Amino acid sequence: MATPEENKAVLERYYEECLNKGNLDVIYEGATEDHISHGTAPNDKEGVEHLKEWVRLQRASFPDLHVTVDDWILEGNKVVSRFTARGTHTGDDYAGGLIPARGRKLEISGIVIDAFDDEGKIFESWFSMDSFDLAQQLGAFDAPPAG
């Protein structure tokens, strides 16, 4: 059985290599094939493939995405990470194309609770972030350009 510190190390690698650098294959090292994700937008995929596609979409929208973990809580087989994500919305349109890329800077906090199996792989995650704040920062509620 993996220790809480070993589980945290899996997440540290995921944040740095996958989210911050775009090495999506790191997901296969850290998550189970049938990973369950709560709180991420549906993309017609399940399991680890859903997670990989979700990260790909974030990095496509924010090519300079950088996630910093501000706090860690380790308890049994769960690790909580309170994070701040920063990036510039210069890539793909966000939220299924609903928010066009306008070069806006984003800085938003969130929390993820990850549950690990006995082999030290994430089998379930709960993701929470203020989607209204995110949409507001990206200009989703701005008046359309005069034209």
Pull the structure tokens for residue 37.
Answer: 């994700």
Rounded CA separation 121/54 (Å): 18
For residues 76 and 4, the answer to whether their CB atoms sit within 8 Å is: yes
The better pLDDT of the pair 10, 141 is held by 10
At 10, is the pLDDT very low, low, confident or very high (cuts 50, 70, 90)?
Answer: very high
In the chain, what are the domain boundaries?
A: 4-137
Q: Give pLDDT tens digits for 52-75.
A: 988 999 999 999 999 999 999 999
Q: Does domain 4-137 have CATH number 3.40.50.300?
A: no
Q: Give pLDDT tens digits for 12-31.
A: 999 999 999 999 999 999 99
